[in-house]
Amino acid sequence: MGRKTHILDGDPPIEVALKRNPRARRFTLRVSRSGGTVSLSMPPFAREAEALSFLHDRAGWVRKHLSDAPGPRRPEIGGSFPVQGVERLVQAAHGRAARFRDGVLFMPEGPRGPVALTSLLKRMAREELAARCAVHARALGRSHGKITLRDTRSRWGSCSSRGDLMFCWRLIMAPTEVLDYVAAHEVAHLAHMDHSPAFWATCARLFPGYAAPRGWLKAQGSELLAWRFDSLP
């Protein structure tokens, strides 16, 4: 079996992606809190019947986690949208570009609005992350490579062996200390490419009190991922 799907009976039925992972040693269920998708990873030689039995035994767990996941949200004129951890009023913009001025988001009306807003958020995220990474890199006495922004779902940032940094641009929606912590976390990887005690000690030196923003991401990060920008309702 390569990758296939299985329908978990119930109300409503749930589609579960079944996939073999060559490094897996046990069955692993994952529920995406951002997209509402369910996947079951299997060891390479496990029998599919065993995997389905594992899945059905945990059907209640799957449904609970799906019900706890935040529903999709879309930016709307007249509504609010989080920027730097604060709910900002969204007003109609004149022209084709989105703007952030005096604590208010201005978004073009119509289908282009979410696209323009995404471009604005990416620019803001790049400016903030570049500034914070520069501060932390100087404190560490290291230099980082290029900074790339992506719309990642499984990680908020990463550091390559070459020192290039990648971040999820949705961090601009989080409180400023959360974005700052993620910047410090990835810069700390310039010295330690692991999560050893030495890494966490470096992280604490760059960002004292990192536990609070780290906890915020674990508890509320899915709310950032729930926002959709493809089109207005």
Tens-digit pLDDT profile for the chain (233 aa)? Answer: 446 888 888 877 888 888 888 888 888 888 776 566 788 888 988 888 898 898 888 888 888 777 766 667 889 999 999 999 999 999 999 888 999 999 999 999 988 899 999 999 999 999 999 999 999 999 999 999 999 999 988 789 999 999 999 999 999 999 999 999 999 999 999 999 999 999 999 999 999 999 999 999 988 898 898 888 875 44
Asked if the structure places residue 156 within a domain, the reply is: yes
In this structure, the chain runs to a length of 233
Q: Is there a single domain that holds both residue 106 and residue 157?
A: yes
Q: Is there a single domain that holds both residue 101 and residue 216?
A: yes
Question: In total, how many domains does the chain have?
Answer: 2
Please tell me the pTM assigned to this model: 0.75
What Rg, from alpha-carbon coordinates, does the chain have? 20
- CA 40, CA 218: separation in Å to the nearest integer? 21
- Single out the residue in 48, 68, 88 at which a domain terminates: 68
Backbone torsions φ then ψ of 107, nearest 5 degrees: -125, 135
Helices 211-225 and 176-188: crossing angle in degrees, nearest 10, is 110
Tell me the residue range of the domain where 37 lies: 3-68
Query: Looking at residue 185, which CATH number applies to its domain?
Result: 3.30.2010.10
Asked if the structure places residue 176 within a domain, the reply is: yes
Task: Specify whether the CB–CB gap between 198 and 192 falls below 8 A.
Answer: yes
In this structure, what token pair is assigned to residue 227?
A: 């926002």
Asked if the structure places residue 233 within a domain, the reply is: no
Asked if the structure places residue 219 within a domain, the reply is: yes
Q: Exposed, middle or buried by CB within 10 Å (0-12, 13-18, 19+), for 16?
A: buried
Q: Is there a single domain that holds both residue 192 and residue 98?
A: yes
Q: Is there a single domain that holds both residue 39 and residue 84?
A: no
**Collapsing DSSP states into helix, strand and coil, what is residue 200?**
helix
Q: Which residues contact 98 (CB under 8 A, 6 or more apart)?
A: 105, 106, 107, 108, 113, 116, 117, 119, 120
Q: Is there a single domain that holds both residue 40 and residue 101?
A: no
162-195: burial string, b at 16+ Cβ within 10 Å, e else:
ebebbbbbbbbbbbebbbbbbbbbbbbbbebeee
Q: What is the DSSP letter of 93?
A: P
Q: Is there a single domain that holds both residue 38 and residue 98?
A: no
- CA 63, CA 74: separation in Å to the nearest integer? 24
Asked if the structure places residue 114 within a domain, the reply is: yes
Asked if the structure places residue 22 within a domain, the reply is: yes
Q: Is there a single domain that holds both residue 18 and residue 93?
A: no
